[in-house]
Amino acid sequence: MPRTRSPRGRLSRRSFIQRASFLGGGVVLLGPAACKRSEEKPKPPPTDTGPLGATAGGQALRTFSTFEYAVVAAATERILPRDEDPGALDADVPVYIDRILQTPEMEPVRDDFMGGVAALERRAQRTFQKGFAALTPAQQDELLTLFKDSPPRSGEAHFFELLTVMTLEGFLGDPSYGGNQGKVGWRLMGFDTVGTVAMAPPEGHDGPKCLRTCGVHK
Amino acid sequence: MSLPEVDVCIIGSGAGGAPMALELGRAGFKVVVLEKGRHYRPQDFIHDEILNSRRNFFMPLPWDEPHLVRQGAKGRYERSTAAWTANCVGGGTVHMSGFFYRLKPVDFRLRSTLGAVPGSTVADWPISYEELAPFYDRAEAELGVSGEAVPHPFAEPRAAPYPLPALDVHPVAGEIDKACKAMGWHSLPTARGIISRPYRGRAPCSYCALCGSYGCETGAKSGTDASLIPAALATGNVELRPGCMARTVEVDKQGRAKSVVYLDDKGVAREQPAKVVVVSCTAVESARLLLNSTSGRFPRGLANGSGLVGRNLIFSSFGESQATFRVSKHGEARPWLKDPAPFVNRSVQDFYLLPDARYGFRKGGTLGFMWTHPNPIHAAVGLAGKGATAVFGKALKDKMRDYRDSRILQFEVYAEYLPTPGSYVSVSDQVKDKYGIPVAAITVERHPMDLAATRFLVERGEEILLRLDPDDVRRGTTSGETTILQHGTCRFGNDPAASVLDKHCRAHEVPNLYVVDGSFMPTGGSVPSTLTIAANSFRVAHHLVRALKG
C-alpha cells in the first residue's frame, strides 16, 4: 500500500472523545474534527518519503521509516516504561501502531499521528540539538510533558493524547493486532483474572482482518 | 431504479422497526426492512475491544458520518459520534446492556402531575400506562426478559411474572440490599433483556461479562437480531435489506408517502414504493430523514407543516459514581470481592417522584448498580486522564497495577430529561456524510430541574456505596446525558398543532407514514427506554394490522 503523508503540518484539529457511558465499555474514537469527507480533498502530489523501515528485530514496517519508528518506540516506552512489569516495547506497542495506522478508515488519524511524530522530533532538535530517540529518558519526559500541558486544542496536546491512547490500545488490545505480546498488558491490568468464561477472543482470531471485513459500513 | 411495490417499507431494524416487521409479516403483509448497517451473525461477535468498542464495527467514524453537537444555540458545533446507536441489523439492541425497565404510570401524565414547568415543553402522553401494559407483556415475551417483580413504593402494575426467572447475581447484590434496607429504601432486581434459561430455541446467558458494548455470541441477549428479526424472516413475508441507507421518503400529489429512496449496499440509488412507510432510525436520525425529505407539498420536511419535527429532543439525564474496593486489603474479610459473577442487577427507584419540590425538582429517577465494564483499554484511557492533569510513565503504570487489585462497583442514574425549546435536531446546511446526505445537527440545552434531580440521585447513590465501606468513592458526573437513549423529536399527541404524530404514531399530516422509534415520546421517563420503544411498536403494529385489514 502506498504511503500517504499529509502536508497538513499544522496540528490544530481537535480530537473527539465521546463516552457513551450507558454502554459501559466506552465508545472512544479519536479523530480530527475538521476533516470533511463530503468535500473532495485535493490530494497532495506523492512525495518521496524514503523507504519503509524495519524494527530492530527485523520485522518489516508498513507505516514508519526506521527513523520514525525509533521516535515512536522511544515515545511509547516513556508512556509505559518497563519497570518491575513489562513496558510498551516488551508488548510490541510500536508494531501495533505501525500496523493499525494502515487501516483505511484511520487515514485522518494517521495524518495526525505522523504530523505529531515530526513535531516531536523538531522540538527535540530545537531544544536539545539531538533526535528524540537519542535523548535521555528525563529529556524525553520533559518534551512529552510540554506536549501534554499545551493548550487543550493545540496540535501538541492532541498528539500527546493520540500517543497515549494508541499506546494503551497496543498494550491492551488483542495480540492479533501486533501488540500486547505475551498478553503482558492484560496481565498488568488483571484482565485475565476476572470472569468465569474467557473474555479474550478465541485462539486464531484475526482482529485486523475483522476490522477490514466487518468494519465496513457502506 | 424503482422496485415492485410492497405493503410496508420499514426503515430501521432495532427496537422500533423489528416488532413492526414481525407483526406485519405474521399478518401476511409484504414487508421490506431497510437497514443501513450490516447483518452480523453471532460468530461475528468476538471479544475484541478494538474491533467492537473503538472502531466503526458498531458506530460510524466521526469523519465519515458525524453528528454535529453543540451546547446551546450560541455554542459551536463539534463533530461527534454522540447520539449514534449501533449501525447494524438490530440497531442499538445489539450492543445494549439490556436494562429492561418499564415506564411507570406517572410517566404518561407528567404534565398533569407537575403542572406547567417554566422553561419546559413537558406534555402528557395521549395514552395511559394501562393502554400500553398489554404490549409490555407482549414485548417481554417476544424478546425474552429475565426478572423478578417485587413490591416497592413505585412498582408499576403488571399482569404476570416475567417470562424468565432473574439472572444469577453477584453476592454484592445482597450487600446492596442490606444497605438499602438499613436506610429504609427498597433495592429491587433489575430486569434484563437477556435470557436466563433456554427460550424459544435460544441458548441462555453464559455470564461472559462482556455484554454492554458487545454483540452477544450466544444469542442470549434479547436484541432484535437474536429474537424478533429471525422470527420475522421466518414468516416468509419479510425481506431484510442490510447495507441500505435511506435518503428520503417521497410523497405523491396528494401528500401521501409513496416510496423510500435509498442507496443500496453497492451505493446504487433505488426507490422502494410502499403503501405504508414506517420510519424507525432513532429519534435523531428519523428527524433527520424527515427533515431531508423535502417536497413541494412539504418544503420544510416531511410531516413538518407544524415545524415540530426535530423539536423537543430528549435524552436521558446521566450521573454516576464509582466505589473502589482493594482486593488485597479486604479479600479476607469480604470473600465476595473475589467472586467473578458479572451481574449486580440492583436498582433503586425510591426517588422516582418526590412529594414536593423542596429539593428543586419533583421528578427524579432510577439508580442502577453494576460492576464497571471490564474493557481494559477503556479503563486505562480513563486512568491516564486528559489534558494537563493526565499522567504517563510510572505514575500511569502504578494506577494500572492498582486497578488490577481493585473491584469497582458503580451506579448509573437515569433521570428525567425535561424537553426544552433549546434541545432539538436540525439538519446541517454545510456538512454532509459520506453518502452526500446532510447530517443531523443537535443542540442541547438542559433544564435546571434535571440537573438538580440528577445531583440528588447521585448523592443518594453515594450514600448506598459508602455503606458498603469501600476504599474510595469517586463521583463521575452529575450533569451528563446518555445520548443513545433518545426521544421526542416527533412527539405524539391529540393536537396536530402541538404534535407530529397521532396516538397511533401515525403522522398527522401524512396518513400512511408512521414513526416508531423513541421519537414519539413526549417525555423520556426515568429509565432506559428500549423496552418501551419495543412495546409501543407492538401497540402500533396491532393498530396498523387492523387498519390495513380494514
Q: What is the ipTM of this complex?
A: 0.94
Instruction: State whether B431 and A36 contact (CB < 8 Å).
Output: yes
B56: left (phi > 0), else alpha (psi -120 to 50), else beta? Answer: alpha
Task: Give the nearest chain B residue to A144 (CA atoms).
Answer: B392
Answer whether A23 touches B (CB < 8 Å): yes
The helix or strand, by DSSP H or E, that contains position A163, with its residue range, turns out to be: helix A155-172
**Chain A residues closer than 8 Å to B49 by CB:** 25, 172-174
Tell me how close the Cα of B358 comes to any Cα of chain A, in angstroms. 29
Phi, psi of B319 (to 5 degrees): -150, 160
Distance CA A166, CA A179 (A): 10
Place of cell 440497531: B91
Distance CA B274, CA B452 (A): 47
Of the candidates B267, B380, B433, the beta carbon closest to that of A172 is on: B380
Distance CA A207, CA B437 (A): 31
Query: Best interface-test mutation with A: which of B96, B392, B394, B399 has the largest number of A CBs within 10 A?
Result: B392
- Where residue A206 falls among pLDDT bands split at 50, 70, 90? confident
Distance CA B440, CA B448 (A): 25
Tell me how close the Cα of B505 comes to any Cα of chain A, in angstroms. 27
**Chain A residues closer than 8 Å to B243 by CB:** 217-218
Answer whether A2 touches B (CB < 8 Å): no
What pLDDT sits at residue A213?
Answer: 75
- Where residue A200 falls among pLDDT bands split at 50, 70, 90? confident
Q: What is the pLDDT along chain B (550 residues), one digit of tens a residue?
A: 689 999 999 999 999 999 999 999 999 999 999 999 999 999 899 899 999 889 889 989 888 999 999 999 999 999 988 999 999 999 999 999 999 999 999 999 999 999 999 999 999 999 999 999 999 999 999 999 999 999 999 999 999 999 999 999 999 999 999 999 999 999 999 999 999 999 999 999 999 888 999 999 999 999 999 999 999 999 999 999 999 999 999 999 999 999 999 999 999 999 999 999 999 999 999 999 999 999 999 999 999 999 999 999 999 999 999 999 999 999 899 999 989 899 999 999 999 999 999 999 999 999 999 999 999 999 999 999 988 899 999 999 999 999 999 999 999 999 999 999 999 999 999 999 999 999 999 999 999 999 999 999 999 999 999 999 999 999 999 999 999 999 999 999 999 999 999 999 999 999 999 999 999 999 999 999 999 999 999 999 999 999 999 8
Give the cell for residue A131: 533526535
Strand-strand pairing, B31-34 and B6-11: parallel
Place of cell 468465569: A196
Tell me how close the Cα of B363 comes to any Cα of chain A, in angstroms. 21
Helices (H) and strands (E) in chain B, counts: 13, 17
**Residues B393 and B383: beta-carbon distance below 8 Å:** no
Answer whether A17 touches B (CB < 8 Å): yes
Distance CA A168, CA A205 (A): 20
- Residues A4-54: pLDDT tens digits? 333 333 222 222 223 233 333 443 344 333 333 333 444 444 444 556 788
Instruction: State whether B56 and A215 contact (CB < 8 Å).
Output: yes
Q: Where are the beta strands (DSSP E) in B303-404?
A: 314-326, 346-348, 365-371
Answer whether A141 touches B (CB < 8 Å): yes
Phi, psi of B231 (to 5 degrees): -65, -40
What pLDDT sits at residue A11?
Answer: 28
Instruction: State whether A164 and B392 contact (CB < 8 Å).
Output: yes
Instruction: State whether B390 and A17 contact (CB < 8 Å).
Output: no
| pLDDT-wise least confident of A125-129, A191-195, B363-367, B451-455 | A191-195
Place of cell 446467558: B205
Query: Best interface-test mutation with A: which of B41, B315, B397 has the largest number of A CBs within 10 A?
Result: B397
Instruction: State whether A218 and B81 contact (CB < 8 Å).
Output: no
Strand-strand pairing, B269-279 and B513-515: parallel
Give the cell for residue B314: 430528549
Cα B500 to its chain centre, rounded Å, is: 21
Place of cell 458498531: B58
DSSP-derived letter for residue B146 is B
Cα A152 to its chain centre, rounded Å, is: 19
DSSP-derived letter for residue B341 is -
Strand-strand pairing, B269-279 and B6-11: parallel
The count of other CB atoms within 10 Å of the CB of residue B206 is: 12
DSSP-derived letter for residue B184 is T
Cα B283 to its chain centre, rounded Å, is: 10
Residue A159: is its pLDDT beyond 60? yes
* Domains in chain B: ranges and CATH: 6-45+71-549 (3.50.50.60)
**Chain B residues closer than 8 Å to A196 by CB:** 207-209, 340-342
- The per-residue DSSP string of B293-338 comes to ---SS-TTSTT-TTS-TT-S-EEEEEEEEEEEEEHHHHTTT-GGGG
The helix or strand, by DSSP H or E, that contains position B404, with its residue range, turns out to be: helix B394-404
Q: Count of alpha carbons within 13 Å of B390, Cβ hemisphere only?
A: 27
Report the SS3 class of residue B470. Answer: coil
Strand-strand pairing, B187-189 and B346-348: antiparallel
Instruction: State whether B209 and A194 contact (CB < 8 Å).
Output: yes
Report the SS3 class of residue B210. Answer: coil
Distance CA B237, CA A212 (A): 33
Query: Best interface-test mutation with B: which of A14, A21, A39, A150 has the largest number of B CBs within 10 A?
Result: A21
Answer whether A199 touches B (CB < 8 Å): yes
**Chain A residues closer than 8 Å to B82 by CB:** 18, 20
Instruction: State whether B213 and A201 contact (CB < 8 Å).
Output: no
Considering only residues 97 to 116 of chain A, which have any Cβ-Cβ distance to chain B shorter than 8 Å? 100, 103, 105, 108
What pLDDT sits at residue A40?
Answer: 41
Instruction: State whether A27 and B58 contact (CB < 8 Å).
Output: yes
Going by C-alpha positions, the residue among B393, B371, B391 that lies closest to residue B383 is B391
- The size of the A-B interface in CB pairs under 8 A is 244
Q: Where are the beta strands (DSSP E) in chain A?
A: none
Strand-strand pairing, B424-432 and B438-444: antiparallel
Going by C-alpha positions, the residue among A152, A73, A203 that lies closest to residue B46 is A203
Instruction: State whether A201 and B47 contact (CB < 8 Å).
Output: yes
Distance CA B16, CA A218 (A): 22
Query: Best interface-test mutation with B: which of A6, A19, A23, A76 has the largest number of B CBs within 10 A?
Result: A23
Answer whether A162 touches B (CB < 8 Å): no
Report the SS3 class of residue A155. Answer: helix
The helix or strand, by DSSP H or E, that contains position B544, with its residue range, turns out to be: helix B530-549
Cα-based distances in Å from B521 to A123, B377, B452: 54, 36, 22
| pTM of the complete model | 0.93
Instruction: State whether B50 and A33 contact (CB < 8 Å).
Output: no
Instruction: State whether B412 and A152 contact (CB < 8 Å).
Output: no
What mean pLDDT comes out for the span A143-155? 93
The count of other CB atoms within 10 Å of the CB of residue A194 is: 16
Cα-based distances in Å from B125 to B289, B438, B506, B509: 24, 31, 15, 19
**Chain B residues closer than 8 Å to A81 by CB:** 393-394, 397
